[in-house]
Chains A and B, each alone.
Chain A
Amino acid sequence: MSQPDVAVVGGGLIGRCLAWRVSRCGARVALYDSADSQGMNSAAWAAAGMIAPTTEVIDSDAQISSMGANSLKLWPQWLAELPIPVFYRDNGTLLLWHVEDTGEAARAQSMLTSRQSQLCVRYLEGSQVADVEPELGSRFPRALYVPAEAQVDNRGFLKAVGLALEEAGVESHWETAIDDSNRPDAGIVVDCRGMGAKSDLRSLRGVRGEIVRLHAPEIQLSHMLRLLHPRYPVYVVPRSEGQLVVGATAFESDDRSPASVRGILELLTSAYSIIPALAEARILEFNTQVRPALPNNQPAILFDPERRILRLNGLYRHGFLLTPTIVEEVLGLLSGRSSGRWPCLNVNCSVASFGLLNTSAEMQKW
């Protein structure tokens, strides 16, 4: 068997998406992951699947937001190309705060204003809050509404891409750990291992997050909710079939041990303060994962010319927000062009590095 054009190592969110998109371009792809095809060990398995470019501005760089806005356009196209339907909802986020935390809301608003996202935000007052989200009743006299944000069922999506890989005939090697000793032969190796690449990326660190999944069919939420709070910020994301995702804590640690009592108390207390009816919800699971992050909490595309490895890493808590944009950018790079639109990706290679791949006829289509 001849060697593949591209070998993707790491089949979490970005790895499997890249393998899928590369295969659609007609190139020969092989995918390797130390776990099975479900992706249960990936950060994406625990994630809430939010695509919230405006809201993220409050705590992230403005470029993360513009990459996210670009992803928001790509998501519906990607989902339409999958073999099975995946839950996706794009009716926006409500930002809420308790009266005592008006200072947090003021800060959020100035962040949104200074980073030029205020156009996408509506200020709601009085009955307007309940008009948008009746389940909140009159508990919140004020809120900020960000209409153009979305969420995708993270696990459904991982599964659908897994099926798409099978359909496309991508050579998938599940339960196969890759390190320097058994690096696959390919035109190029793309390392998407996240925390698995720790020994090769010195500045990579883990940020532990805890998350809760609840079942509460009687709670009729239709928007993503985010509570602005100085100590216990929380999001509540309503999914299909009465499921809710409540997250997420953040600790500077790559500890993957089960969720802590403190973390869960903080999350659930905060969520309960938004919707007291959550007291009757059933706890489906507590989950812990570690987000791979670089020192600036921004993603990077790093090329190691000696070993011909392209490393994609540092998606931090922005996996679903950034993956389509980064994958499209990498497709461009592999075909010998870069959009140059996202300086924060820190692409450290010139597109000429990938001249080899250009010679294949299929690659011309990229």
Chain B
Amino acid sequence: MKEPQMEDQLNLYGQGFSSRLLLGTSRYDSPSLLADAISAADPAMLTVSLRRQISGSKESGQSFWNLIRESQRAILPNTAGCFNAREAVKTACMARELFETNFVKLEVIGDEVNLQPDPFGLVEAAVELVKLGFYVLPYCTEDWILCRRLIDAGCMVLMPWAAPIGTGQGPRNPRALRELRERASQITLIVDAGIGLPSHACQVMEWGFDGVLLNTAVSRALDPVRMASAFTGAIRSGRSAFLAGPMSAQETAVASTPQIGRPFTFDSHHAAHLARETQSAGKVGT
């Protein structure tokens, strides 16, 4: 019997999402613009900063919170602005109470200037939060040992950066990111931070990353709504390309249709190239 076609879903701690985009909610010109960008982006989750965006008591930020809730998306509170594990754990607990969710994007910042994650504080906080029953999505670097420690701590999702927050540079260290993808093959990996263009997002999805988290690339575009849908398209394309299994790149042109009367294309340049290849690979020619 044929299996019913399973929908390709993003899996975050056992919860399935049809979208692979997570969208940040800060730095939009207005809440309406944010709402329009959310509609265009169709994100799996929205990240909200407890410290940076909402100040004071639970009640005082209620209006903005209601606007976010009206979008009917899952909320991923973050611990932005925390510089050590203690602060991050405290903020996560406040966020759980306020937003009524176990999900938390764990940020422990090590450097005030480029907002680079503090790997030591991150692991410390992750251990604690997993014990407290949180579904932890740590914002980390692509360092394999750090990622392993986070997995050991019980994180089932990791969010390595492409580049520092807000830079929009795209993947700075593609080799390490791809290596991480290969080694952490059973872990959900979301590229968070440093994505500037839809092509960056498409690229990491082609590499097999499970999702992309964005904020500035959308909110600071001249037309955030249009940019949001551009990213959604790019992420879908990249995911489809990954699932479709890309062809292997070839060194030389390979005609897809045979040329009648010329079963082998063998000009002198090509012959010389092949000879070099064969030599360097140490193969015996046939």
Contact = CB atoms under 8 A, between A and B. Distances in A.
A255 B57 contact: yes
B31 interface: yes
Interface stretch (A80-88, A200-208, A332-340, A355-363): A200-208
Interface in B1-53: 29-33, 35, 53
B265 interface: no
Contact of B33 (A103, A114, A252, A296): A296
Contacts of B53: 251-252
A208 B56 contact: yes
Given A114-B222, A205-B63, A252 B30 contact: no
A232 to B, nearest CB: 11
Given A114-B222, A206-B63, A251 B55 contact: yes
Nearest to B30: A297
A259 B32 CA distance: 27
B220 A208 contact: no
B166 A230 contact: yes
A253 B35 contact: no
B166 A255 contact: no
A49 B33 CA distance: 26
B120 interface: no
B222 A251 contact: no
Interface in A38-96: 59-61
Nearest to B57: A255
Given A205-B67, A295-B35, A295-B67, A253 B30 contact: no
Nearest to B216: A230
B35 to A, nearest CB: 7
A273 to B, nearest CB: 13
A162 B285 CA distance: 98
A179 B60 CA distance: 22
Contacts of A255: 55-57, 60-61
Interface in B244-262: none
A107 interface: yes
A89 B61 CA distance: 36
Contact of B63 (A59, A111, A252): A252
Contacts of A61: 29
Given A204-B63, A205-B63, A253-B61, A110 B222 contact: yes
Contacts of A110: 222
Contacts of A257: 56
Interface in B58-88: 60-61, 63-64, 67
Contacts, number: 63
A253 B222 contact: no
B54 interface: yes
A252 B54 contact: yes
Interface residues of A, number: 25
Interface in A210-261: 230, 251-255, 257, 260
Given A252-B61, A253-B61, A260 B222 contact: no
Nearest to A249: B55
Contacts of A208: 55-56, 60
B195 to A, nearest CB: 15
Given A205-B67, A230-B166, A296-B32, A254 B60 contact: yes
Given A107-B220, A257-B56, A205 B64 contact: yes
A225 B31 CA distance: 27
Interface in A283-316: 293, 295-298
Given A252-B54, A255-B57, A297 B29 contact: yes
A59 B32 CA distance: 14
A350 B98 CA distance: 43
A103 B216 CA distance: 12
A298 B32 CA distance: 10
A106 to B, nearest CB: 11
Which of A61, A251, A253, A293 is packed against the most chain B CB atoms within 10 Å? A253
Contact of B54 (A111, A230, A251, A296): A251
B222 A295 contact: no
Which of A204, A252, A253, A260 is packed against the most chain B CB atoms within 10 Å? A252
A253 B54 contact: yes
B230 to A, nearest CB: 17
Which of B30, B35, B67 is packed against the most chain A CB atoms within 10 Å? B30
Contacts of B168: 103
A310 B222 CA distance: 34
Interface of B: 29-33, 35, 53-57, 60-61, 63-64, 67, 166, 168, 216, 220, 222
Interface of A: 59-61, 103, 107, 110-111, 114, 204-206, 208, 230, 251-255, 257, 260, 293, 295-298
**Closest 9 interchain pairs by CB?**
A255-B56, A205-B63, A252-B64, A297-B30, A255-B60, A251-B55, A296-B32, A253-B55, A253-B60
Given A103-B168, A253-B60, 20 more contacts: A59-B29, A61-B29, A204-B63, A205-B31, A205-B64, A251-B56, A252-B54, A252-B55, A253-B54, A253-B64, A254-B61, A254-B63, A255-B57, A255-B60, A257-B56, A260-B55, A296-B30, A297-B29, A297-B30, A298-B30
18 contacts: A107-B220, A107-B222, A110-B222, A111-B222, A114-B222, A205-B31, A205-B63, A206-B63, A208-B56, A230-B166, A251-B54, A254-B60, A254-B61, A254-B63, A257-B56, A293-B30, A295-B30, A295-B35
